[in-house]
Structure 1
Amino acid sequence: MLDAVLELKKFQDVANVSTFLLDRSTSTLLLGARDAILAVDTERLDQEPKVVGRIIWDVPEAKRRACVAKRKTKVDCNNYVRLLEFLGDGRVYVCGTYAFDPQCAFLELSSFTLETTEGEGVKMETGKGKCPFEPSQHYTAVMAAGTLYTAAASNFLGTLFDISRGTGAEQERIRTERSINWLSDPEFVSSAFIQQSASSNPTGDDDKIYFFFTEVAKEYDLYTKVKVPRVARVCKSDVGGMKTLQRRWTTFLKAQLVCEDKPSGQRYNILTDVFTTEHTPGDPSSTHFYGLFTSQWERDELSAVCVFSLSDISKVMDGPFKELKKTSDWTHPEPVPTPRPGQCLNKALKDEGFDSSLKLPDKVLTFVRDHPLMDNSVTAAPLLVRKGIRYTKLAVTQTGSGDERRGAVLHLGTDRGELHQVAVVGENATFLQELSLFTSQEPVNNILLHRGRALVGSPLSLARVQAEGCALYSSCAVCARARGLGCVWSTGEDACRRTTAEPGPGDIVDNALRKCDVAEGRCNPSMRELRVSVGLPLLLPCVQLSPRSCSWEHPPHRHTRQHHSDLQVTVTEDSLGEYICTCQEAGPGSRDPTPCRRAAYQLTLEGPIAGGTVAEAGGRHIVASYIFMFLMGLVLGAFLLHFVMRRCSVARQGHHLPDNSLSSDKGRDLLGSSATAQSPSSASLLSDGFRLTEKRNGTATTNTTTTLFSNQGNGSPHGNSFGGALIHSNPGNGHGNSLYANCNTNSGDLQFVANLLDGRTGERPEVIERKFGERDEVDEGLGDVIKGPEEELARFPNFKLPAPLALCEESSI
């Protein structure tokens, strides 16, 4: 349920908002934008005043010109505020790109001003390694007990990357080793600080910071660059080594994240966002990381969600290391020195005298320097897969409390300004609703959860949406889909309410939907009738939530192609009928896949439109008969022309004929040896395909698309196009001349024969120009010969009778 939308561009052209920081005590939201920082009261988004503070932090003109002189665009040579973090002393640490020279400053919350120096200029310090150089560079940062940990590019060219401790004592500012074994062209996504509680940490283990990113894998020796998602871990008390790994992490370890649907073998290897949450509030050991993925090998939009537990990541970090030998095979290194490389300080290590990373032996530091990658992977199966949708941000709301926790609601922002809510209960994911928040040009780039609401941001706008509670489901059908979350529709109140009653046996969503005044269930969608026209290319959507495969039932013809879970159809008379999409999903109380019907359509002929003329479409046999009659007439005409020329040649045996007359082989090339009907290519048909339902409003589009096929290489300004059918000459003639004709050719259409020979006037031309600009000299008597075949061909009745205007038979797509 949408509460309010604030258009930030109204405030003196504020744009390019990229960073959120929420003061939960006052519900004040700080937004980092281009050359500006805003403070917004989220409780008063629907009232005035909405913006409670605004700071301009721009770049001096001289520095801007110097940035442009380095071949950077004028737009990028602004100050894009990319980092906002609380320092814990009433101040906020603020960093911006500052015309490709990152700088950081201090924001006083009480006065909402930037600290200044004695000269009244903004007090700044270098932001290299803390903030990106470019506005669009990937980076992440997290504040841990007042100390900033960042992962970002560390040079102007964006070729060096560091995970570093960015603030604190100078001697404790350490970073990663400059080695491709540590970081290989990474794209940083997210970071999280996990602070151990005394009750759940009997071993006294150190607090840890986790970084999530995608990098180019070095363990795969392939021709293409394979990207893999990673999770890396460093320890809070790490200060580097004494001799080896000086000012470098001694606890840096990383492992691969695997989000894979094993039944289909589909793996999602590009990590785009991570949301961190505790399944049991107050218990850090119950932390789970919800990852948003896409695939490197899919050319179309694809999104998947996998969840990884902190305990699984810890097990992998405590497992075997991976090592690359000279044989190019990754093996387990042996022996592993003691104390174990990469582990955080705990009571046991301190009892052995290792109370600081500076006291670790060189053999331990050398080992961890050369073996940062773990052998095992952290694996998970997708909770959700959506094809045809690109999700950009993710937030998760847990439902229930403690052991009564029922499931989760995924709040997913799209690249088209929409917010999708999906309920995940057990192995099933149910699409609840879609909210259009911004324009299609504004992707969702931030989602924050606060007091039962979701604060959703784009580069130009801010929206507030109800995120928790059954009351946000405004209809019985949507409430029924949330039955697994503990919601039930109250007919007396005409509202969705929370219930503690357990659902009955069977499919709880279908049972709840049957109580509503709708015939549609989760696995029993209502049949949608679509009025279509012959020749219309369309795409039938099928919302796939489960990562398992989907299949279609449709009339037996060849004019379909499955595009992921959706189905591409080119409408013909044979393609009319029912289309049913069935997906494999987990059954109630079972992990085994069961069929679930997701979509059902009935295609009904409305009336074809082709070439701008409305006419009844004939059957394929009628079209084929006209093509056959036309081809037979063309062949007979060519035979008559050849016969007349032979007689003319015999009559002129006493004269000297030049070699380039029509009696020679060169002259015969002016007429195609044969003409066969060719179907339009699949690519031509697919290029005009469009989605039947628009993503933003779900309304059906019924505009008929007509495609005219023309010869791309004839060079004629008119194109010799007589309709929708395309007829090619035999390519063996060496010229590639193409004759264009409609399936309902009449006598007037045969003028193309005379046009080809250029003998319409009866004059005796000196030369004949062929379509590709070639010239052949001819005998002076050629003009008299041309008139005969044209008159003979015009006598055939099939060229005089009009035929129904219909497309010729198409090939399968």
Structure 2
Amino acid sequence: MKEGLSNVSTLLVNEETNTLFVGGRGAVFALDLNNISREIMQSTTLCKFYFSFQIRCQNYILCLHKINDSDLHVCGTNVYYPTCDHMLEKLKRAKCPFEPAQKHTSGFVDGEFYSATSNNFLGTESIILHSMRNPVRTEFKTSWLNEPSFVNMEIVHESESNPNGDDDKIYVFFTGTAVEFEFYDKLLVSRIARICRGDLGGKHILQRWTLFLKSCLSCSIPELNFHFIIFQDIFLLSRRKWQDSIFYGIFSQQWGRLDISAVCAQSMKNIQEVFSKGSYKGPVTVDHSPVKWMVYRGEVPVPRPGACIDNFARSVGYNTSSDLPDKVLQFVRDHPLMDNSVNPIGNRPVLLRRGSNYTRIVVDRVTEYISFYVDDGYLHKAFSYDGEMFIVEELQLFLSLEPVQSLRLSSEKVELLSLHMESNC
């Protein structure tokens, strides 16, 4: 590891300039992708001090996103005062966690920054935020986000060649504590949340996300009663047609054998079906009993709550989210959860591995094969062929076995870049 580079937490590959950017404590390093031992540049990130006493600068770089070939969007903890740099402009709203142990994810799309993180020092207020002149975020309600552990964020360009004039979507993946089930203990569930890129918030009611919906992601073996409900990582394998894209996720169990990892594949078609046609679920009070979550059986308002502004919405006079009627906003505020889960392709995992705790996955399509890179300190390479998955290679990545914090695949060079966390990398 490069001298002076410690507490590494994020990687960014720029194929055009053959550069690997590495974010750590107090600095961003630019390394030659052809020879990562050769340093191209080092940019030191200084902290601002907001305390009356002297404190060591602890600015952990947690987010790196490419703006263009020469500019990056960088976010750091900045001594518990999260700050981002974008073309020398300081953005003061929290877009990364207050400290590096808090789970987070982010995305940078066409000059716009999205983040799923904590909004306060204690990590008790979780938000999904779109940073713009008038930022839009989730409600501080357990029915929206309940103790989420954010995993990943991806954009799907659903507006491309779309006959319905639909909007692009931001999908956020996380594990959260279930609120819809009555259970003796905290029950964790894997979630997928959907946001429309054109959502500007409501005018009077719900001056937050007005088009926010979420659902459960299922990954199980029904006949064995194995339910993998804890998200570890997810990867979007994009196809030429966005409808054919597939999400590959790593899941583990909350109880039972904890050394089993499952990889499930979720298709865009199944995800769309749940959000566009599925029933809603919401909290109700029944005979003065505790709140129960039940399927909504009544009349659904028009336009469909949570649906992006499309040709139909525009045809009836709703051109932006701020035009939507109050009854639609009230409904989606109280019914953010879909009743149906998103089931995996084939209704079962594409890969099941005993004795391994997988933490990260990247996927590359090679001719008729799909290769998985999944690891728990070892790197396992698997091929999917003729409906079956075969692990064909195993490599130990580091001298000491450590969970890998980040994986990036350079598809042009067919190289896999990884890092793990040590006190002195």
TM-score above 0.5, yes or no: yes
Letter in 2 for 1:158: G
Q: How many residues align?
A: 412
The 2-side partners of 1:177 and 1:249 are apart by: 8
- Match for residue 293 of structure 1? 251
2:39 to 44, 48, 51: 51
Query: Match of 2:141?
Result: 179
Counterpart for residue 331 of structure 2: 367
Note closer, same or farther for the CA distance 1:127–1:365 as it changes in structure 2 (3 Å cut): closer
Partner Cα separation in structure 1 for residue 282 and residue 174 of structure 2:
21
1:277 is displaced (CA, Å) by 0.9
Q: Which residue among 273, 279, 291 is the counterpart of 1:320? A: 279
Partner of 1:149: 114
Judge conservation of contact 1:67–1:99 (CA < 8 Å) in 2.
no
| Structure 1 position 270, deviation (Å) | 0.3
2:158 to 196, 210, 226: 196
Q: Is the 8 A contact 1:64 1:78 kept in 2?
A: no
Give the counterpart of 2:307 among 333, 343, 357.
343
TM-score of the two chains, using structure 1 as the length reference = 0.49
Once residues 103 and 438 of structure 1 are traced to their aligned partners in structure 2, the CA distance between those partners, rounded to angstroms, is 32
User: Does residue 124 of the first structure (1) align with residue 112 of the second (2)?
Assistant: no
Residue 455 of structure 1: how far off its partner (Å): 1.6
Provide the C-alpha distance between the structure 2 equivalents of 1:355 and 1:340, rounded to a whole number of angstroms: 14
Q: Write the distance in 1 (CA, Å) between the matches of 2:72 and 2:293.
A: 48
* Structure label with greater radius of gyration: 1
Contact conserved, 2:379 with 2:394, CA < 8 A, in 1?
yes
Distance 1:260 1:342 in 2: 27
Aligned counterpart for 1:158 among listed residues 116, 119, 123: 123
Which of 242, 253, 266 pairs up with 2:203? 242
Q: What's 2:32 paired with?
A: 41
Q: Check the 8 A contact 1:323/1:333 in 2, yes or no.
A: no
State the alpha-carbon separation in 1 of the partners of residues 327 and 189 from structure 2.
Answer: 29
Question: How far apart in 1 are the matches of 2:325 and 2:54?
Answer: 46
Q: Counterpart of 1:420 in structure 2: which amino acid?
A: H
> What is the one-letter code of the residue matched to 1:125?
L
Take 2:69 and 2:335, find their aligned partners in 1: how far apart are those partners? 39
The question of whether the paired residues in 1 share the 8 Å contact of 2:281 and 2:295 is answered with: yes
Q: Are 1:412 and 2:374 an aligned pair?
A: yes
Contact 1:251 1:344 in 2 (8 A): yes
Structure 2 residue 398 is matched with structure 1 residue 398: no
One-letter code aligned to 1:22:
V
SS of alignment partner, residue 245 of structure 1:
coil
Q: Taking structure 1 as reference, are residues 446 and 329 closer, same or farther at Cα in structure 2, changes over 3 Å only?
A: closer
Task: Select the structure that is richer in strand.
Answer: 2
Q: Distance in 2 between matches of 1:438 and 1:85?
A: 26
Residue among 7, 22, 30 paired with 1:31: 22
8 Å Cα contact 2:159-2:165 kept in structure 1: no
**Which residue is 2:225 aligned to?**
265
Q: Show structure 1 runs of 5+ residues with no match.
A: 1-6, 69-73, 108-114, 116-122, 462-813
Deviations 1:608-660 (A, max 9, x none): xxxxxxxxxxxxxxxxxxxxxxxxxxxxxxxxxxxxxxxxxxxxxxxxxxxxx
Equivalent position of 2:261 in the other structure: 303
How far residue 99 of structure 1 moved from its aligned partner, in angstroms, is: 1.5
Q: Which residue of 2 aligns with 1:438?
A: 398
The structure carrying a bigger helix percent of its residues is 1
SS for the counterpart of 1:272 is strand
Structure 1 counterpart of 2:320 = 356
Deviations 1:345-374 (A, max 9, x none): 111211211101111110010000000000
**Counterpart residue identity of residue 232, structure 1:** A
Partners of 2:54 and 2:320 lie apart in 1 by 43
The answer to whether structure 1 residue 330 and structure 2 residue 297 are counterparts is no
What SS does structure 2 have at the residue aligned with 1:84? strand
1:424-473 deviations in Å (ceiling 9; x for gaps): 22432212111112122533222212112212222369xxxxxxxxxxxx
Q: Do the aligned residues in 1 keep the contact of 2:181 with 2:293 (CA within 8 Å)?
A: no
Equivalences for residues 498-513 of structure 1 within 5 A: none
| 2:102 paired residue number | 137
Matches of 2:421 and 2:212, distance apart in 1: 34
Contact 2:282-2:336 within 8 A present in 1 as well:
no
Whole-angstrom distance in 1 between the partners of 2:24 and 2:321: 40
Shift of 1:304: 0.9
**1:197–1:283 Cα contact (<8 Å) kept:** no
Select 1:224's aligned residue among 185, 198, 201.
Answer: 185
> Is the 1:208–1:235 contact (alpha carbons within 8 Å) kept by the matching residues of 2?
yes
Partner Cα separation in structure 2 for residue 365 and residue 210 of structure 1: 20
Q: What is the root-mean-square deviation of aligned Cα atoms in Å?
A: 2.0
